[in-house]
Chain A
Amino acid sequence: MRTLDYIAPESAAAAVALLAEHGEKACPLAGGTDLVVDLKHSPGNIHVLVDVSGLEEFRGIEETDEGLRIGSMVTYAEIMENSICLEKVPEVVAASHTVGAVQTRNLGTIGGNLVTCVPSADSAPALMVLDAEVTVTGADGERRMPIEEFFVGPRKTILEPHELLVDILIPKKNLGKPSSFYKFGLRKGQALALVNVAAALELKSGKIHEPRIALGAVAPTPIRILEAEALLAGKKPSIKNIEEAARIAVTESKPIDDFRASASYRRQLIQTLTQRVLSRSLEIATAS
């Protein structure tokens, strides 16, 4: 591994100052499950690690008037064990459970996963279908945005080099919203996603209300399928509608062709799995 400097600042403000000072040479360190691997194997100009994993501002899971706040440095394991998460956002818990293995989930943080911004980030689709928002802090102060706007491209977020992700907020109205997440990987343990898919919706007077569909690993960033959501909104649930929504998801996706799977197979998975998460969400909505 290359020579590095390691700094653990006392506060978010100090972390931001350090990042601003070192510019491109510095990088925030969260769980490190991706970053340390990169540092070992790829050349690059990062020489200063600013450890933000222990900062109080980025920790904690709590229900507020606005909704459920999850600090960016909360680990997957902490989400999985948290009673509020288990009750109010079970599919975020389910998605967290599919990340790596126990050791990865004990170190890896939900914020780190979003900031790394690989297309296959497992937590992203589950958060997106709940209209999650993210808060960012930096030298220019704080800003908040819908999670979709956070992702810019593969391994690229809206964050400026001096900015840090503070927390994720799931709006109050979406806590407990019927939803479903499915990850398809090449094996069961420690799988990387070929396709991640999540759906959330409600039923009002027998009609689909505020449907959300999000997919991961099928485009340069995790994506919402707005056209399919529009198609379903206000409609009675039917096999035909679900199949059509899934077809739109296929058209809206731009899956890659690589050694893990062909693009055409990924499209087949998108069709099948989108139908499945929609059907499952409907089942939950019907039951509740």
Chain B
Amino acid sequence: MKKRGRGMACMWYPIGFTVAANPSAATVKVNTDGTATLLTGTVETGQGALTVLGQIAAETLGLATDDVHVVSGDTDVTPMDTGAIASRTTYVTGNAIVRAAEKAREILFESTAPLLNVKPDQLEARDKQIQVLGFPSKSISIADAVQHSESIVGNPAIGSATYNPPTVEMDPETGQGKPFNTYVYATQIADIEVDDETGEVEILKIVAVHDCGTPINPMLVEGQIQGGISMGVGFALQEEILFEEGRQINPNLTNYIMPTSLDMPELDVGLVDNYDPTGPFGAKGAGEPTAVPTAAAIMNAIHDAVGVRITTLPATAERVLGAIMEKQELEQAAG
């Protein structure tokens, strides 16, 4: 018979390396037509990082996403970056980009302030214009500003900067310290059915609500969450590399069972409204944490459905049925 169950799990997750330095550098160049080029040493590994980094550069310069071209992944061309790891790209590389773009922007402020008869700190870059704070009708287009700065003033709008999250060494005896600069939080809830005669678990739905600070691009954050959950589902129910005397016995996609489209449930994804003042425009990160609470939520739902606690992953149908039968035997023994 099929038994319905629901389970929740929450989690916290840090951004960047544990104490260790993990800097990023960035260079932003604003072109004379008001477009810009961003150089980053990170690599696009599918998350949409380059799109997000372009959005961060654009935002700092008051440009639209499409105005910024992102150049990445060439050690001859692009600056140092610790890389696409540890959910650090939006936060660490993003912070470096904000700082680099601010330097380029500062050049524009300084060059154009005299034209607008204000001081540089009275200016902002917005809607593709350099404009006076509180008086936006007094403005100059970014294209004109760059043109002026480069051709008249002789100061091209280029900025380079680095960022490394500040941490505090952990005490070797007690581990006390500040290993990360910031963390994200999340909750996932699973709605499942367990067939109590075969042990098969069917996931009907997973609700996932994640905090990533400001979502720079909500569509891409959703994609990270949905993908992370599929990894969590595999971790929970199916996936395991098996060994015999140190040799893998299922090193192929026939026998290493990862979720197909038929194995994934409906997903309902939400984002918490949050802002981290230490991140670029309040952003933190979204890559890894999405895969963290899924298995726990599913195990709690199994417990809710059939009253057994799975203590070893993955919760294959065989393992779940074994636990159900063990429980029945204990109950019978207890009379």
Contacts and interface: CB of A to CB of B under 8 A. Distances in A.
Residue from B250, B259, B318 whose CB has the most chain A CB atoms within 10 Å = B318
A127 B317 CA distance: 27
A120 to B, nearest CB: 12
A259 B250 contact: yes
A187 B255 contact: no
Contact of B249 (A184, A259, A268, A269): A259
B141 interface: no
Contacts of A272: 197-198
Interface residues of A, number: 17
Q: Which secondary structure characterizes the binding site on chain B?
A: loop
B277 to A, nearest CB: 44
Interface in A29-51: none
A190 B260 contact: yes
A261 B316 CA distance: 9
Interface string B297-335: 000000000000000000011100110000000000000
Nearest to B249: A259
A192 B255 CA distance: 9
Interface string B240-281: 001010000110001101011111000000000000000000
A83 interface: no
Contacts of B259: 187, 189
Interface string A264-282: 0100110011000000000
B233 to A, nearest CB: 10
Given A265-B318, A268-B321, A186 B257 contact: yes
B238 interface: yes
Contact of A261 (B244, B260, B262, B318): B318
Contacts, number: 43
Interface in A163-215: 184, 186-190, 192
Contacts of B261: 189
A251 interface: no
Given A186-B316, A187-B260, A268-B321, A192 B198 contact: no
Contacts of B318: 261-262, 265
B88 to A, nearest CB: 33
B321 A187 contact: no
A188 B322 CA distance: 21
A52 B318 CA distance: 41
Given A259-B242, A265-B321, A184 B263 contact: no
Residue from B198, B238, B262, B316 whose CB has the most chain A CB atoms within 10 Å = B198
A216 B78 CA distance: 58
Contacts of B322: 265
A188 B242 contact: no
A262 B199 CA distance: 14
Given A189-B261, A261-B318, 4 more contacts: A186-B238, A190-B260, A259-B250, A260-B255
Interface of A: 101, 184, 186-190, 192, 259-262, 265, 268-269, 272-273
Interface of B: 197-198, 200, 238, 242, 244, 249-250, 254-255, 257, 259-263, 316-318, 321-322
